[in-house]
Amino acid sequence: MALNGGSPLRCLDALLFTGRAPCAIARSPWVPTGRYAAHAVGSSITPEGQASKVYRCSNACRQTGRAVFADMARRTLRVSVLQQSEHFIDLLKALIRHPSVVGAEHSFFRVLQRELEERGAKVTWYEGLLVAQGNKPDSAMFSAHIDRHGLICTGPNEFQYAAFVAGHRSDLLGNSVSERLMMKIVDRFQSVPVTAYEPWSGAYRGSGMITKAYVCEYRNNLIFEVKGLEHLVAGTPVAFTDRLTITDDILIAQLDNVLTAAHLVHLFSLGFQGTAFFSAQEESGSSWRFLLEWFRRFNGATERLVVVDTSPYPDRESADRQDVVLRRRDVNAVFNADMTNRLEQLCRSDRITYTFKDAYIEEQNRRALKLGSEPQSLGSTELGRIIAASSGFVQGTTLQIPTTGYHTMEESSSVRSSNAFSRLLLLISGMAGAV
């Protein structure tokens, strides 16, 4: 219930902090008359241009008003949060259904453009980059890569891992793709359904099933055989057929990185007026070049870029120990300390649980060394590559959602983490004056 055009939250604020409320409060069926009656102290103009008296409430009226409007605000917020959550899930389902294989993202950019423009954003295309901006483009900046793993047809009934092909890490020399990485993923996609599409328009080109995956000893790369797509010509992208499922408040799909990209699109539905970047070819290690080129194009140095992504954990228990994942650094560079500290403070103020991924990996490495095991890398992020390549011209920090089943069709994230991530995006935007 809004009084004189105001929201329940604003009416509640008026009662709590000024003792004044719109004249309708005295006549409202929510507030009894008699000793609870309010007393006129002035007048105001309603949104309809009509004169309206303003009342100062008695103590009894204020006490009643507090309870009334607090209850109204809580119920309004519950409905609003539920509706926004449903809208986000609908958006995520739609985006997951559209393929975006690394190196063949053009058709997915078209989908993003439509969704963003429907939400009031101004959208501009660049090579490997889609830029969405509101009315305050310099206020806050987020970036998410939009490519996903898939295959590329490289010959008659022959398919290779798209990230290796797009990243030029497949050759005849045997030194481009590590044997360890290939053996780690070779068994992930047995009997996985796939869909071929035209890379520019997204037109459907057929569907099939992966029947075999192996490492070619001559080319030192992963080779896939697919039943049902024998008609494809070389260069055709093939996506893993995917749909979002939600089980026990767990989101399950190939979430990297469509999950955080969907959050940035949805952010414009919530009034975001800053800038969101959507980059291609992150999985092949190239996205940072497109993003850095944009900043250099306009000579626009920044220390406030927030790069969003998913962050892998070995199991659900480990992932659920935090709502979101922060970083102070990766293997390439140290992130902006001030921006990282601001995110940490926002997490604390909103009771969002968090951990630092670099500290987590360092602790895991200490344990591994004690056991005589090989330590892990701190990991390479889009932001770290940009900071290193630009010598600090572009800086910022990262914000990630913890997931399990990394780079598989069963990658999962909790709804709780997704909701916390959304709240934190709004808090960052509010801090920067972007909402």
* Banded model confidence at residue 189, pLDDT cuts 50, 70, 90: confident
Report whether 157 contacts 226 (CB < 8 A): yes
CA distance linking residue 182 with residue 177, whole number of Å: 7
Answer CATH for 98-147+254-431 from 3.40.50.720, 3.40.250.10, 3.90.1150.10, 3.40.630.10:
3.40.630.10
**How far is CA 298 from each of CA 131, 184, 291, 304, 385, rounded to the nearest angstrom?**
13, 41, 12, 16, 19
* Banded model confidence at residue 219, pLDDT cuts 50, 70, 90: confident
Report the percentage of the chain scoring pLDDT > 90.
64
* Banded model confidence at residue 300, pLDDT cuts 50, 70, 90: confident
Q: Which helix (H) or strand (E) holds 53?
A: strand 51-56
* Banded model confidence at residue 161, pLDDT cuts 50, 70, 90: confident
Residue spans of the domains in the chain: they are: 8-78, 98-147+254-431, 150-240
**How far is CA 258 from each of CA 108, 155, 254, 308, 317, rounded to the nearest angstrom?**
11, 29, 8, 11, 23
CA distance linking residue 11 with residue 429, whole number of Å: 24
Q: What is the pLDDT of residue 68?
A: 59
Q: What's the whole-number mean pLDDT along residues 325-343? A: 96
* Banded model confidence at residue 180, pLDDT cuts 50, 70, 90: low
Q: What is the pLDDT of residue 408?
A: 84
Q: What is the pLDDT of residue 328?
A: 97
Q: Is the pLDDT of residue 313 over 50?
A: yes
Mean pLDDT, the chain, rounded, equals 83
Tokens found for residue 427 = 């808090």
* Banded model confidence at residue 221, pLDDT cuts 50, 70, 90: confident
By the 10 Å C-beta count (0-12 exposed, 13-18 middle, 19+ buried), 248 is classed as exposed
* Banded model confidence at residue 58, pLDDT cuts 50, 70, 90: low
CA distance linking residue 355 with residue 325, whole number of Å: 5
Q: Which helix (H) or strand (E) holds 240?
A: strand 237-240
Tokens found for residue 71 = 């209850």
DSSP letter for 410, please: T
Tokens found for residue 50 = 């009509």
To the question of pTM greater than 0.95 for the whole model, the response is no
